[in-house]
Structure 1
Amino acid sequence: MFIFDLLGGLFSIALVLIVVGALTGNLFFVVKQQHAVIIERLGKFNRIVGAGFHAKIPLIDRKAATVSLRTMKNGFDIDVKTQDNVTIGLEVSAQYHVSYEMGAGPADSGVYKSYYMLQQPVAQMRDFITDALRSSIPVYTLDEVFAKKDDIAKDVNATVSEQMDAYGFTLVSTLITKIALPAEVEDSMNQINAAQRTKAAAQDLAEADRIRRVTEAKAEAEAMEKAGEGIANQRKAIALGIKDSLETIQETGVGNDEANQLFMFTQWTEMMNEFAKSGRASTVVLPTDFRDSASMFEQIIAAEQVAKDDAGTQA
């Protein structure tokens, strides 16, 4: 009889708990997708439940925490010093999530560790990343930090990932999104860049001027070469013309001396005709007999020089 009374009492208590739980919403609960809920029974860890519909014992079981399994982002700023003693500001972005590893038992899972093993996991992860960056940046110069920022971030991510894994977090990536310089350093770098661009522009202009001068020199040399060839051909043509003229005169039976004198007379006559056609008011004294002139060539040159001087005076 006593046993039946005891069972009846327990059934009544259970019935009351069910009714109270149903009325207060403490009996059934739903876990959203990409979330996990930690259930404690009388203050002690009991189990981890995933997405779906679940039930718990009212007043005995409680939802200790709802843990998100989605990837989260945390950004922060830190100041570090480079090898060449330049203090720079870094904007850092970290992507992380609670580890999906279940382990051998619930206590080895990422959800369990992320809740029970670290009071402020996000703040601790930030401290780990800050310490890693302040340890690695000082071995690089300012220029190397800009050139190798992705490699530095990967090394920091690998180091901090191992540390955070013990607390149930997976560090997906660590990014250095911005490098801020002091105003005076930025101005100096801008001046250096401007000077380098000015130097490069001056070198380009000098190279262009050199090419122009070389091209002009080559063109002038080629022109002089062509002019020389023209003069040589002209002289050759004159010589051939004189030769042909003498041969023509000699074919008429005239002797060599007479032929030469006739040719010289012809040249002298043409010279006088050209002088008369010029119309200049210069006076040139010439011998009446061209045979008396032993230096006809010098006299012709003298006449041409007088004509040039007279033209210069009129101008």
Structure 2
Amino acid sequence: MGNLCCMACVDQASIGVVERWGRFDKLAQPGFHFFNPLAGECLAGLLSTRISSLDVRIETKTKDNVFVQMLCSIQYRVIKENADDAFYELQNPKEQIQAFVFDVVRAHVPRMTLDELFEQKGDVAQTVLEELEKVMGAYGYNIEHILMVDIIPDASVRKAMNEINAAQRLQLANVYKGEAEKILQVKKAEAEAEAKYLGGVGVAKQRQAITDGLRENILNFSNKVDGTSAKEVMDLIMVTQYFDTIKDLGNSSKNTTVFIPHGPGHVRDIGSQIRNGMMEASSAQLNVE
């Protein structure tokens, strides 16, 4: 459309398209310009050379049949040297860019799984950038950047992915918990074994001390009382221990009824059994040595 003004000012970051008798003549750079209406010159229009941004939302399907929405941000600008192509060739450049983005994304994404799409979204953006540069460059537009801002799977898919992630973390937590319980059981068993060993050592030392004490008492008694033998002293000690045991059983309120043989003959039998056992133990120790 012609402009009858004989002068015009082209703003910075803009480029003017000048026509002569309705035909493209030249490009007007930023600044003040004079036009000769009598010669058919006019300023047909202005194009901004600033970077423009276009957000495109694309719905597509992945290789594993998951529907996703992808938010793509395209940054483009007019090439100053080819501003006439941008002015005359495309009536609506945004719709043209959007159509090409739809075509490239829907041809590339269905060959990828959902996990691959999240991992390689930069490759998808690079593929879209290369295809758009080939097409839009012929129309005087340069594609500066393409960003895959967001990938939004279906709500049910997001819920399933969160549940899978939670299950994997729970499984890992159970593994660590099982290992901790295993270590605890091993340490507990080692502690019990050590306690039993030390308990056995304590009992052995206790019995050794009792034996040494009895031996010392028998020797002292035999030396101080004339006419007594070690056997008689041992019988006397056994009788004393026997009655002390009977006394302890009677004084303890936690014991139930206990039937034991009682009488001088039974005491003598018990003493003989203990004495024979000690003699057999001593004989076995001598044989071993």
Alignment pair present for 1:170 and 2:170: no
User: Whole-Å Cα distance in 2 between the matches of residues 72 and 93 of structure 1?
Assistant: 10
User: Whole-Å Cα distance in 1 between the matches of residues 205 and 123 of structure 2?
Assistant: 74
**Which of 23, 30, 35 is equivalent to 1:56?**
35
**SS of corresponding position for 1:295:** helix
Alignment pair present for 1:154 and 2:130: no
Unaligned 5+ segments in structure 2 are: 252-256, 275-289
* Structure 1 residue 49, shift from structure 2 partner: 2.3
The 1:115/1:264 distance shift into structure 2, 3 A limit, reads: farther
Deviations, residues 82-127 of structure 1 (Å, cap 9, x unaligned)? 1112232222211111235xxxxxxxx2323322343433222222
Alignment pair present for 1:88 and 2:68: yes
User: Whole-Å Cα distance in 2 between the matches of residues 236 and 165 of structure 1?
Assistant: 104
User: Whole-Å Cα distance in 2 between the matches of residues 251 and 157 of structure 1?
Assistant: 115
Alignment pair present for 1:26 and 2:38: no
Deviations, residues 66-89 of structure 1 (Å, cap 9, x unaligned)? 111111111122222211122322
Alignment pair present for 1:258 and 2:215: no
User: Whole-Å Cα distance in 1 between the matches of residues 243 and 225 of structure 2?
Assistant: 28
User: Whole-Å Cα distance in 2 between the matches of residues 297 and 36 of structure 1?
Assistant: 127
**Which of 70, 74, 86 is equivalent to 2:54?**
74
Contact 1:154 1:173 (8 Å CA) reproduced: no
Alignment pair present for 1:213 and 2:185: yes
| Alignment size in residue pairs | 266
User: Whole-Å Cα distance in 1 between the matches of residues 230 and 205 of structure 2?
Assistant: 25
Alignment-derived partner of residue 116 in structure 1:
88
* Structure 1 residue 262, shift from structure 2 partner: 1.2
**Which of 258, 264, 282 is equivalent to 1:288?**
264
Deviations, residues 267-300 of structure 1 (Å, cap 9, x unaligned)? 431442353355449785534378x71333879x
* Structure 1 residue 27, shift from structure 2 partner: 2.5
* Structure 1 residue 61, shift from structure 2 partner: 1.8
Contact 2:13 2:49 (8 Å CA) reproduced: yes
Contact 1:81 1:137 (8 Å CA) reproduced: yes
Contact 2:62 2:111 (8 Å CA) reproduced: yes
Contact 1:98 1:114 (8 Å CA) reproduced: yes
Contact 2:235 2:271 (8 Å CA) reproduced: no
Q: Structure 1 residues 170-179 or 242-251, which shifts more?
A: 242-251
- Scaled by the length of structure 1, what TM-score is found? 0.70
1:89-238 alignment, distance < 5 Å: 89-99=69-79, 109-238=81-210
**Partner AA of 1:53 in structure 2:** F
- Scaled by the length of structure 2, what TM-score is found? 0.76
Alignment pair present for 1:269 and 2:263: no
**SS of corresponding position for 2:37:** coil
* Structure 1 residue 205, shift from structure 2 partner: 4.0
* Structure 1 residue 51, shift from structure 2 partner: 2.2
**SS of corresponding position for 1:294:** helix
**Partner AA of 1:269 in structure 2:** T
The 1:254/1:113 distance shift into structure 2, 3 A limit, reads: farther
Among all aligned residue pairs of Structure 1 and Structure 2, give the percentage whose two residues are the same amino acid. Answer: 30
Contact 1:96 1:171 (8 Å CA) reproduced: yes
The 1:262/1:53 distance shift into structure 2, 3 A limit, reads: same
**SS of corresponding position for 1:79:** strand
The 1:166/1:234 distance shift into structure 2, 3 A limit, reads: farther
User: Whole-Å Cα distance in 2 between the matches of residues 247 and 136 of structure 1?
Assistant: 105
The 1:135/1:272 distance shift into structure 2, 3 A limit, reads: same
User: Whole-Å Cα distance in 2 between the matches of residues 224 and 93 of structure 1?
Assistant: 74
